[in-house]
Each structure stands twice: as structure tokens, then as C-alpha cells.
Amino acid sequence: MPSEATAVVTGSSSGIGLAIAERLLADGWHVKGFDVSPARIAHACFEAVQVDLTDGAATEAAAQAAAEASALVHAAGVLRVGPLGALQPADAELMWRLHVDAVTRIANVLLPAMAARGEGRVVLLGSRVAQGKAGRSLYAGTKAALIALARSWAAEVVASGVTVNVVSPAATQTAMLDDPARQAAAPQLPPLGRLIRPDEVAALASFLLSPPAAAITGQDIQICGGASLAR
């Protein structure tokens, strides 16, 4: 990690984003947390940036103000479920704006600046659902799009010392599990016998942002608790 390095973390007020922000602060990063909700972190090296990431102009303005960042972690997300015949266009638009459009706008500012400096790290939070799951098509589509973005961006900036990876957890113990919008679709425990913990996801993100991870790029790394063993 460069001295006085800054990481932008979206969705930093809860769940995986909060765990990652806290882990990076412990690692010595300065963190700018992009979130529409009030910050839950009080730390001298944490700056809360209250921004609605579904608002394109506001997201771009926040990115421009953080153009010096050496790392970007996109953890902001929501889950809306539904089978064919009950899909809601508003759900599709919300998840696309938050999962895909927001990080595209941020990366469009931050990644060229990282490449020009010759160093940088990007981690996008995906999901095992990106491989497809009944009742999750809209969510899966946006998470699959993140993998395509990551591989494409990685190919563009690999020679400039910038890496781009996806971390895809199985069901993780966060407040998202309590969202009334998903109560009809309970999470499935992986063979490990428990949900993935946010701190476990944060530990992997921390490594991918570190100097020893310089040769890892364009990958979708799963934290699956054994769920991918049966093929």
C-alpha cells in the first residue's frame, strides 16, 4: 500500500462495505466512504461522502473529488427477487443503477488516473448468483455484468500497474438478509454449514488491494463455503 493511500469504498455504512472500510482503516488506508446513508464509522482517516449512487451526476461529482484514490472497492448493493411473470422494471433499474452504472461512472474517473500514476487496485463485489439462480435473474444479471466489466477493465490497465478483480461471496450474514423484499427467498447455507461472514470478505478484499496481489487481475474469486465443490 502506498504511503497516505486513499481507498474509495461504496456502501460503507453497512454489511460487507462497512467491514471492508473498517479493515482498510486498520490496514492504514485513508478511506472515503460513498453511501447515501449516514456513516457508522468515526475514525480520523475516514471521510464520509454522502451520495446517492443511483444519481449519475452526483456519483460522477463524488468520483471527481476523489480522483487521487489508489483503490476502489464497490460494495454498494441491494437485492430484489422475483420469478418470471412477476419481474418489476423498477427493480431492474434500481439494481442496474446501483450495481453497474454507479461503478462505471466512478471507474471512468478513477481508473485512468490510477493508470497514469502507474498503480491502483479495484475490487468489485459480485455474487455466486451471477452464475444464475431461479428467482434471481435481475440480480444475477447485474452481478454478471460486473465480471464482464472487471475483465474488460483489467485488460485495459494491466500494463499500467492497475489490477481489477471481483470477489463473489455466497450468502453473507448482513442486514440484506432481513430485507422484506427477499423474505420469500431465504438464503441457502453452503456446505460449510453457516453463512459467510463480512470480515472474511473484507480480508480477501484487503489482500487484493495489497502489493503482494499485484499479479492477480481479471479474476472472479469466490468465497463459497464449499458451495462450488459439486459440479
Question: Would you please indicate which residues are annotated as catalytic (active-site) residues?
Answer: 139
Separation between Cα atoms, residue 61 and residue 20, nearest integer Å: 23
Separation between Cα atoms, residue 81 and residue 97, nearest integer Å: 16
The residues facing 62 across adjacent strands are none
127, 100 contact by CB (below 8 A) = no
35, 50 contact by CB (below 8 A) = yes
Instruction: With CA atoms as reference, report the closest residue to 18 among 30, 10, 6.
Output: 10
Find all residues with CB under 8 Å of 194, minimum gap 6, and list them.
Answer: 225
How many helices (H) does the chain have, and how many strands (E)? 6, 7
166, 151 contact by CB (below 8 A) = no
